[in-house]
Every structure is written in C-alpha cells, then in structure tokens.
Structure 1
Amino acid sequence: MLRESEPPSEEPSRASRPAPRRSSVFADVDLGRDGKQVGFFYVPQSPHDDAWGTVRVPLAVIKNGTGPTILFEGGNHGDEYEGPIALGELIRSIDPATIQGRIIAIPAINLPAVTAAQRTSPIDGLNFNRTFPGDPAGTLTRQLAAYVHDRLFPEADYFVDLHSGGSSLMIMPSTIIEPGRDPAHHQRNIEATLAFGAPMAVVVDNLGEARTATASAVEAGLTVVGTEMAGAGAVSAEALAICRRGIRNILAHAGLTDPATLVRPEREPRLLAVPGSEAYVLATEDGVFVPADALGASVKAGSVAGHIHFLADPGREPVALHHRIDGMLFARRQPGRVRPGNCCLVVAVPYDRGAVP
C-alpha cells in the first residue's frame, strides 16, 4: 500500500521503483492503517519438524495521518543488541498521536540469528547483510532480505539500520554514512546521520560491497542512516543511550515529530571515513593478536599496530603488524585468536563533508 501523501520532492518517485517480485511472505499488520499495530510477517518454511510451518518475524507499524515514513531495522546480525532493545522500547512507548507520518519497525529482522545470538543464520549459514536484494525463491535469509527490499523499501523515505560490532569487533559508538548515489543524495545521508547525534559519524562503504541493507536502500533512493554501537557481543549502557536518543532525533529530523525536540550532543560529532583497504590491519598468521593501542588512539603509517603471539611455539618471536595510514583507531577485533585474513583493526581518517561520493 502506498502512503496517501506524495514523497518529498528530492526523493525519487515511488512510481519509478520496480514492482515487487512474487513472494509467499504474508503479514498480519496493515501498512496503511492509522494507529499502532504490533504483529509479525511470516515466511513459509517446510523443515523436517514443521511441514507447513512459518518463521514469524516481529513487525510494528505506528502511523498517524500523512507524512514521511521511516523504516527502522535492528537484529541484522543476531549478536548486536542495542538496536533491537531500543526499537522494542520505542514500539512499546510511542503514542501514535505524537507523530505525523509512519514508523515501520523490524527490531529482529534476522530472527534465527537473533535467537541463536550469532552473526549468521543457523538455518542457512548466511550473513543477512550480504544477501541484498535477496531472493523471494531462495533460502530463508535471502527471502527475508527480499521482503525488506521489495515490500518495505518502496514504502519508506528513510532507512535506519541499527548495528553494533557484534561478537568479533569493538567499535567506537558512531553513526555510519553510506555513500549516496549522487552528491545531493550523499549530503542527505550526511545530514540525517549527523542529526542522529552520535559522537562521530563515519563514512564506510564496506570496501564497495553492494549486498548490504544500507547500500541496497541507497540504491532504492532512501535517505539512509547506519550505526555501530560498541560491540563485543555485549550491551553497552553508553551506546544504548546514544541509540535511544538517536532514534528520537531521526523522528524529529524527518519531521514525524517536532523538529525542536531534536537533542544535539554536547560536542559536534566528528566526521570521519574509513578510506579503503589500506585502513584495515589484517592478520597474517595463526595465533593470538595483542593490539598496541586503545580505541580512539592516533596512529601513524608504519607504526606497530600489534603483535601475533604463538602460544604453542614459545620459542618463536611474535610477528608485528603495522598500520598503513595515519588516522584514529576506530575498531578492534574482540577475540584474541586470529587466523590469516582476520580483521584485527580499522583506522578512520578525517572526512570533508563536501567530498563527492
């Protein structure tokens, strides 16, 4: 169902967006109805123990009249908790009468992974965030991605994808800017991401990966905001507070609530970027990695990033890894154990907000 109002003039027309592919997914909420609905969408599955069963994924719609639509997603990875918690709180607390427009919230989109508290789905082994635009005739994870891409993206003006570092990374609490399709789109993404109000906003293109939810949403023309809220497979009280505030700020920024309610952080967010493959410090050996610096530290190209130790070979000297660029230490691997190719550290550099994507 299309919203009654026309989208803002700078947004692409929904009429120009492709028609959904045929899908067997169904929902028990009406995307066009006013009020608050908390229900599910259902993905038919036929495993050994449930021949005509479904996987049901929580879906909430909060709507009041006409106005912008914000699609919130949490649980993209099942070991990232701040987003799902904050969205659950929003769903329970918000009064539809206090907004003008529509909120669509899927707080645990990758439900099998959320239930298993792991990054990838225990059903098909796939990373939901590397399956877009999905496949309505594919495995469960691909069907979930196709539902978001085909059914929910066309309904939305904004997409907010709430991540944290998960079990394998600790990341400085930040918003993530997905590069836009053109300079105007890119600036919309920057403005919305800064409005979220995290201590820093970082441009990350995942090494050009096009299969992520945010990259797919940008391609669909939406204004896109991502987050990385700490990690380590735990819940950070600080990051959760940032996430709660940021969700409310995006409502105000988009015009669903009074813009005067937007809460600015005490300090202007730092604007950074992960510039490319040279920002990543990757393991070269099997062993245990010990970083040389704390998150937030300034590092220099050529400086020692850390050492890989060999616990089963005490006579062998540790191997040093080195930074390839100057910048700030933005993310750090959480498990000490590494194998060749593992991401150990990520460095971010200052970003010019006027840069062309």
Structure 2
Amino acid sequence: MTSQRQQPAPRPSSAFLTIDPEREGKQLGFLMIPHSPDDDAWGATRIPIAVIKNGTGPTAILEGGNHGDEYEGPIAICDLIRDLDPGRVQGRLILMPANNVHAVIAGRRTSPVDGLNFNRTFPGDPRGTITQQISAYITDHVYPLGDAFLDLHSGGSSLDIIPSAIVEPTDDPALHKRNVAAVRAFDAPMTVVISNLGEPRTATAAACRAGLVTVGTEMAGGGTVSLEALKVCRRGVANVLDHLGIVARDTPEPRRGEGGILELPGTSAYVYASADGIFEPFHANGETVSAGQPAGRIHCTWDPARAPELLHYAADGILYGRRQPGRVRPGNCCLIVAAPYKGTLS
C-alpha cells in the first residue's frame, strides 16, 4: 500500500524537521517553524512529531490537536508515542498530537497567535501566518509521505457530540470505497458522513485531495475528557492500524456490527441561535426528532418580560450534537441533526 502517487513540488518554506522520517526505529522531535514575535527575535514554533518506522509497509499519519480544546485524540496519539514497541510496526506511523500547537497549549479552538482556525487553512501558505505555515508544511511535506490519514477530533468546548467515526466525501469512487472501509474498521458507535457544507479547507478534505485513505472522528466534547469516548478512540485507532496492516492487534476484538451510515443533511442539519440569551434544549443526544418540531428556546433572563424565542428542527433524524455552553448569541450552532445517508457506499 506504500504510496506511488505523483506529488507536486513543495512550495519554498523555512520550516524544518529535527528528525529523519526515513530512519528506522522510534524518533521524537519537532517540526520547527521560524517565528519572530515581539518577545523572540529568532525563535521558532515547535510542533511535536514522532515517527515509528519498521521495515516496509504503508504509512499512516495520525493528527491530534487540530483544535486545541479537543482532547481524546491527542491522548490516544501520545499513548502510541510512549508505549508502542517499534517491532510491532510493519511500515511507518507519523504521529502528531498537537498540530495547532499554540491553541493546544491555550486550550482554545483557534490559535491565540493569529486567531485562525487551523482546520480552515488548508492547503496553507508557507509564507503566511504561523497557522497557515503549519498547514502548508503538512500539505507539502507530510501528506506526500502517507497512505492514510487519521484526524482525531472531538466536539471541543462548544459541542457535545455522539462519539462517531467520520467519512470525508470525495469525488474519487475508489478512494471513497477505501475511506468507508477504513471508517467502518474504526467501529465507532456511529458512522457519519460530514461534508462541512462542502468546505475544502479542512485537513481531511486536503488529505482526500492528496489521495490518502482518510478517517475522521468526533469524540464527545464539552471541553472535557470523556472516559467512554477515550476508550472508543483508543480502540478505533488500533482497529484502523490493524485494518491498514501496520500494527496487528494481539487479539481481534468483536465488532459492534456494520450498522447504517448517517450524514449531516446539508444546511437543514443545523439549528442556529436566532437571539441573544440562554439556550434551553428540549432533547438529549440520540433522540429521534423531526422537521418542524420544537427544538429548544432562548431565554433573555435580563429582560424577563420578553417571551422565550422558540427554535425548530429543519430535518428528520436523530440529535447528533448539542451546544455545551448555555449562553448563546445569534448564529451560534445549538443543535445538529444526523439523518440516514443517501449516497453510495461503494
């Protein structure tokens, strides 16, 4: 499965690695990006990276910390960095637990350095802001090394999402089939196709354009570490690495079953706040809901004479995710509905 894809020449960049991704064994180091802020004339942003290589075989890239307030994926990746015996690897793992490193350190979704959402910057700009430079290096130098990409997300501080494995849509039918197989191998409680309304600037969309077998996740959220979601994430990563032939499981685990695949049905999947106030949801994650049904209401407690503003669902399905903070302003995503997937699986 080792990649034979034709790759464009990388764009000029001042970034560099402190390790050699072609060397056998386990290495821990950094992607270094020269960074000259107010208090450091010739400093560098350090993005942690580990490579575990043994013999021949495919390469899987594992990303965590795409958003800095999502924790289960980075923990699972750090487990592999510390604990995985290189002798068990057949091929190569490129392990990056904190790619949006400034946001990770701050515990924020976006970078406190330039205010950017890392997952809306691909393919990046090697001469842009620090966040754009990180995504550019991954696009130009990391993706070409890989055959598969696992992007481990959670709901972050603002959302609580049912733990799930995510299929990134692609126009390549053969890649779509491989993506679905790998996501099913993850064996999460739920499998969901998420297109981000056609957003092309995400890490998973860029990975699909690079021809990588791509697996995403959404592991709970709410700004905490969910013990159950962490268990799902660790198990799912092990399942995918076994599926790819890189790290065989000692003992195969029973599958949860094939089950159906869901999707977010376009703009109708989302219920947005229409007023400033405090959001009261009417349903728990996993409940069946229908278009037109009252979804919740927004209270303006500092103006008690004002009646709460009622929100409604725009799609049939199940409640897939809910906003975690009660305080909302117009445009905040309050609820997400997932519906049965209408596309093809092969």
Task: Give the TM-score normalised by the residue count of structure 1.
Answer: 0.94
Q: After the TM superposition, which residues 1-357 of structure 1 pair with which residues of structure 2 at under 5 Å, given as runs? A: 6-7=2-3, 13-14=4-5, 16-258=6-248, 261-352=251-342, 354=344
- Structure 1: stretches of 5+ with no match in the other structure: 8-12
Identity over aligned residues, as a percent? Answer: 59
Inter-partner Cα distance in structure 1 for 2:214 and 2:87: 25
CA-CA distance at 1:259 after TM superposition:
6.6
Letter in 1 for 2:176: H
User: 1:267 offset after TM fit, Å?
Assistant: 4.1
Q: Residue type of the partner of 1:340? A: P
Structure 2 Cα separation of the partners of residues 346 and 317 of structure 1: 24
What amino acid maps onto 2:134 in structure 1? L
Give the conservation status (yes or no) of the 8 Å contact 1:112–1:122.
yes
Q: Which amino acid aligns with 1:279?
A: A
Distance 1:64 1:340 in 2: 52
Secondary structure of 1:145's partner? helix
Whether the 8 Å CA contact 1:199–1:269 is kept in 2: the answer is: no
CA distance, structure 2, for counterparts of residue 110 and residue 178 of structure 1:
20
- Count of aligned positions: 346
Q: Equivalents in 1 of 2:218, 2:126: separation in Å?
A: 28
Task: Give the partner amino acid of 1:72.
Answer: L
Alpha-carbon RMSD? 1.4
Q: Is the 8 A contact 2:123 2:206 kept in 1?
A: yes
The C-alpha deviation readout for 1:285-329, integer Å capped at 9, x for no partner, is: 111111110000000111000001111110111111111111000
Contact 1:202 1:271 in 2 (8 A): yes
**1 CA distance for matches of 2:122 and 2:67?**
14
Matched-pair contact (CA < 8 Å) for 2:189–2:256: no
| Residue type at the aligned position of 1:194 | R
Query: How far apart, in 1, do the equivalents of 2:153 and 2:236 lie?
Result: 13
Contact preservation (8 Å) 1:173, 1:229: yes
* CA–CA separation in structure 2 for the residues paired with 1:226 and 1:263: 21
Secondary structure, in 3 states, of the residue corresponding to 2:255? coil
- 2:49 is matched by which residue type in structure 1? L
Shifted more, 47-56 versus 157-166: the winner is 47-56
- 1:40 touches 1:56 (CA, 8 Å); kept in 2? yes
Partners of 1:300 and 1:134 in 2: how far apart? 39
- 1:119 CA displacement: 0.3
**Alignment partner of 1:242: what SS?**
helix
Q: 1:10 is matched with which residue?
A: none
Structure 2's unaligned 5+ residue stretches are: none
Q: Is the 8 A contact 1:35 1:62 kept in 2?
A: yes
* Counterpart amino acid of residue 245 in structure 2: G
C-alpha distance in 2, partners of 1:263/1:22? Answer: 45
Read off the aligned partner of 2:57 and give its amino acid letter: G
Q: CA deviation at 1:254?
A: 0.4
